[in-house]
Amino acid sequence: MIFENDNIILSSKELSIGYKNNILLENLNLSLFAGELVCLIGPNGCGKSTLIRTLSGLQEGFSGNIFIKDENIKSLNYHKRAKLISIVLTERMNANSLSVQQIVSLGRYPYTNWLGKLSSSDEEIIANSIGLVHLTEKKDNIYMELSDGEKQRTMIAKALAQDTSIVFLDEPTAHLDLPNKIDIMLLLRKLAKETQKSIFLSTHELDLALQTTDKIWLLSDKKIEKGIPEDLVLTKKIETTFGTDRFQFDENTGNFCMNYETTKSVQLIGNGHYKYWTKRAVNREGYGISENASIKITTTERNTWIIEYNGFKREEPNIENLLSTIAELEK
């Protein structure tokens, strides 16, 4: 198996978690390994943040134990725990007046003396952490002046400077635009491989997780399904967890497709992505696909569309014109 790994960083034994008197998950026997990026995915309210907060030691479980490199997390004081676990939470840090380097330097405080004096070794780790997230040229910039993506990379660098074996991140791509979401996910994957840290994050970005993560923990119905992304897709675990009567998971594309109500139909002939996007467009307009439909659409090698109906025939240059012609024929 590709991801077999004897280097367990974190494990839990018969762990039960929740909040107040509400148990969300119980009897959890989990393991996180060095050098792996693992994504925790599930519907809202299923316990993703609670699981991260419990595994990272921010809140206690109802029962069971959590071990970091064979040490029970319950026996660790704050100082020792900070040398083993780093956390990047969704809440923004109130550090607008600090520079990138000053914020990343905060990651070294578990190792400094009571005066907080940084050694040359600390300075080297800080510089290396900033370099790993590609912010060296902006190390003196004020945090509040950074883009959202740069702010997130700054917080990741702070976690790296903490020099722990495991890094937890709660929704690290929240509030980011698509290019920055992709950059952060690719960065985290690269960091897991290059540093051999265990990186564990929660996310709602299923499409990005399917493409970047080593393993997915799929959380639903008070249980966790674990595996590599492709296995969870092929065994329909993803579809079962997220599919509804309004949309379904497409195993071929890894995307969710809307289930539009169709009252009419067209024939659609063609291949490849032109056929795929044409089908999406006509479905959105309320047309199903049927071999017996009177309106026939053919995608051509010239990247145009031929529409035929009761002796009528026209070639259209784009899907917008195609939809307009269909609407005219339906009048």
Query: Cβ distance 171 to 5 under 8 Å?
Result: no
The residue count for the chain: 331
Is the confidence at residue 1, as pLDDT, over 70? no
The whole-number average pLDDT for the span 19-47 is: 90
**Residue-level pLDDT at 255:** 77
Answer with the one of 188, 211, 244 that is the final residue of a domain.
Answer: 244
* Per-residue pLDDT tens digits for 109-127: 998 866 678 999 999 999 9
Residue that terminates a domain, selected from 244, 275, 303: 244
Residue 44: predicted pLDDT: 82
| CA pair distance 239, 249, nearest whole angstrom | 5
DSSP letter string over 224-282? EEEE-HHHHHHTTHHHHHH--SSEEEETTTTEEEE----SEEEEEE--HHHHHHHHHHH
Question: Does the residue 180 lie in any domain?
Answer: yes
> Among positive and negative, which fits the CA dihedral 191, 196, 202, 205?
positive
Helix (H, G, I), strand (E, B) or coil at 66: strand
Mean pLDDT of the chain: 90
pTM of the model: 0.84
Q: How much is the average pLDDT of 288-315?
A: 95
pLDDT band for position 266 (cuts 50, 70, 90)? very high
Same-domain status, 228 and 145: yes
| Shared domain check, 291 and 206 | no
- Looking at the DSSP bridge assignments, the partners of residue 166 are 85, 198
Least confident of 43-52, 77-86, 196-205, 273-282: 43-52
| Residue at a domain's end among 244, 279, 299 | 244
The answer to whether position 214 is within a domain reads yes
Q: In this predicted structure, what is the pLDDT of residue 21?
A: 81
- For residue 58, what is the DSSP state? S
In a domain, 3, yes or no: no
